[in-house]
Chain A
């Protein structure tokens, strides 16, 4: 069965510092991996995806993620955090032809000034 784990409920960083939000996955086939962000009282917004190719994926708002097949991880990173990055982040995986997503439980990112 497919699953996604986000081991941290919350990540706290200072503005200007690098940030990492962790994600590990379990699928039986080739994974399609995604990161989404949710601001308060809003729907989810797509940040980036890994389908195939380069293991380092660049996305919206300066975010990037590194696919590591041996560690089955897809951590979200940003070199310099902004206060406006504070939000709820979800990792998701898809591995079949229906394209349905399995989501992690979410990680709340808090960037302090």
Chain B
């Protein structure tokens, strides 16, 4: 099993550009999450999904959108990138009952 994978690994955007980050998991997990990691702030939840076709806002959702059209995939979109969105983005999934989350390797995004 590959676990949780994220594409791309790195990306540089100009202010105002858009992009989509893809997260895929092969563990048949119901729950999926998008976090951003910034120095000294730990990980903060952007959006999450408790099942196919459902999404919900987390702690810092502004400027991001998500979709969960298939159970194994969770997409994070930036419609108009801003320098404040420069960060490392992590996707995670969970089977729910056991609670622990499994994390992808991350995407390092720089917005200039």
A residues engaging B (CB < 8 A)? Answer: 4, 9, 32, 34, 36, 41-46, 49, 51, 90, 94, 98-106
Contact = CB atoms under 8 A, between A and B. Distances in A.
Scoring B42, B44, B48, B105 by chain A CB atoms within 10 A of each residue's CB, the highest score goes to: B42
28 contacts: A32-B99, A34-B100, A41-B106, A42-B105, A42-B106, A43-B4, A43-B90, A43-B104, A43-B106, A44-B90, A46-B102, A49-B100, A51-B99, A90-B42, A90-B43, A98-B31, A98-B48, A98-B50, A99-B99, A100-B33, A100-B48, A100-B58, A101-B101, A102-B45, A103-B35, A103-B44, A105-B40, A105-B42
Interface of B: 4, 31, 33, 35, 40-45, 48, 50, 56, 58, 90, 92, 94, 96, 99-106
A95 to B, nearest CB: 10
Nearest to A45: B103
A13 B92 CA distance: 31
Given A32-B99, A44-B90, A51-B99, A101 B45 contact: yes
Contacts of B90: 43-44
A99 B94 contact: yes
Contact of B43 (A32, A46, A98, A103): A103
B105 to A, nearest CB: 5
B33 A43 contact: no
A20 B33 CA distance: 29
Contacts of B4: 43
A106 to B, nearest CB: 5
A43 B31 contact: no
A28 B41 CA distance: 22
Contacts of B106: 41-43
